Amino acid sequence: MSETTTTKPAPFGTVFGSNLPIARFDSDGWGAMEVVPTDSVTFGVATHCLHYGSECFEGLKAHKQQDGSVKAFRADKNNARLRASAERLCLPVPPMELLEEMVEAAVQSNVEVVPDPPGSLYLRPNLVGTDLNIGAATKPTKTAALYIIASPVGEYLPPHMLRIVVEPDIPRTTPQFGKVKCGSNYAMALGVIQNARRDFNADQVLFAPGGLIEETGAANFLLLEEGRVITAPLSDSFLHGVTRDSLLQLARSLDWKVEERAVSVEELVQWCARPTAEAALAGTAAILGGVGTMIVNGEDIQVGNGETGPATKQLRGMLTEIQTGKRSFDFQ
């Protein structure tokens, strides 16, 4: 009798391509990029980024197209965001051309491990301060490394409708670093997210400092119904998601009403009571993940009928078709 074994896919972000584009910055400026084995790069224990947070990163995906080629989705937006993060963190700002060259090298040197859709190659550019100096608490690093990790991925979100706790007081991070993509922002949010998991069996936290909704721990947040999307207006205090921007452009192209405006927790609660209400997390990893329950002041509140609604399905479907070359769209 033959035995059948089912292999569980590896968790998102735990498998890596073999090849790593890397470039270094020193007193001569940025050196040329080279592609090295992913497991060949090591950093000393005194490295600046490990002590003083001189680190920022990006997350984008490359998708297999219908003709078999592989294309990174809107990499220009991620490259620009990395440069803005670097500037805010007093790190050397990598030139745009270097970032473009490295994204392309990350894709092409790992092309053989790109999964078929709905899988993709997740790319993680990482810029780190590399001075070996534990006495530089108030000084920027003078040297840095920029590299891009490639990781073949499948689904990021769990298969169930999401449960999201609303945090009305504590911000995810400080307002001055909200739109920076740096590791310390995630560390600051982690305790709140862990408490929500423990106390409410929640998947994530929606941060709403001052009672106005902003974003979750690793994605932007949208309210939707057919013909309409509502989301917080861009500000310095949360991450300007490429997915958020893409979905809003798609919604506008469909002549949907797109409202970028402040939404209070009270309005969110009223919204959830509408039978047509939808809510979703928007991010590169999540794409657009339906929220079934918001937990406000410790109470479960069902969003609409608790299922993934038609607006969420339509925008998600359009976006994934564009990413895989089944549909064209000219993002601005």
Ligand X SMILES: Cc1ncc(COP(=O)(O)O)c(C=O)c1O
Q: Which residues bind ligand X (CB under 6 A)?
A: 59, 215, 218-220, 239, 241-244, 283-284
- Our CB check for ligand X shows the closer of 21 and 283 to be 283
Quote the least distance from Cβ 241 to ligand X, whole Å: 3
**CB closer to ligand X out of 31 and 191:** 191
Q: Which is nearer to ligand X, 35 or 128 (CB)?
A: 128
C-alpha 235/C-alpha 157 separation (Å) is 26
Report, in Å, the least distance between residue 286 CB and ligand X.
8
Tell me which residue has tokens 């392309």. Answer: 104
Residue identified by tokens 């949208």 is 222
Q: Residue 209 or 241: which CB sits closer to ligand X?
A: 241
Is the distance from CB of 265 to CB of 168 less than 8 angstroms? yes
Report DSSP letters for 301-317, one per residue: EE-TTSS--HHHHHHHH
Question: What is the spatial distance between Cα 211 and Cα 208, in angstroms, rounded to a whole number?
Answer: 5
Instruction: From 27, 73, 63, select the one nearest 242 (Cα to Cα).
Output: 73
Q: How far is the CB of 76 from ligand X (least distance, A)?
A: 12
Nearer to ligand X (CB atom), residue 183 or residue 306: 183
CA 323/CA 276 separation, integer angstroms: 28
Rounded least distance, CB 283 to ligand X, Å: 4
Closer Cβ to ligand X, 206 or 218, answer by number: 218
Residues 238 and 172: beta-carbon distance below 8 Å: yes
Nearer of residues 94 and 125 to ligand X, judged by Cβ:
125
SS (H, E, C) 122-178: EEEEEEEECCECCCCCCCCCCCEEEEEEEEEECCCCCCCCEEEEEECCCCCCCHHHC
Give 212's DSSP letter. B
Distance CA(186)–CA(191), nearest Å, equals 10
161 touches 307 (CB < 8 A) = yes
- Shortest distance, position 80 Cβ to ligand X, whole Å: 11
Q: Cis peptide before 118, with omega less than 30 degrees from 0?
A: yes
Residue 281 Cβ vs ligand X, minimum distance, rounded to whole Å:
9
Strand duo 204-207 + 162-167: pairing: parallel
The conformational region for residue 27 under phi > 0 = left, psi -120 to 50 = alpha, else beta, is alpha
Residue 174 tokens, joined: 């400080």
Residue closer to ligand X by CB (options 24, 124) is 124
The least distance separating ligand X from the CB of residue 301, rounded to whole angstroms, comes to 22
Place of tokens 């400080």: 174
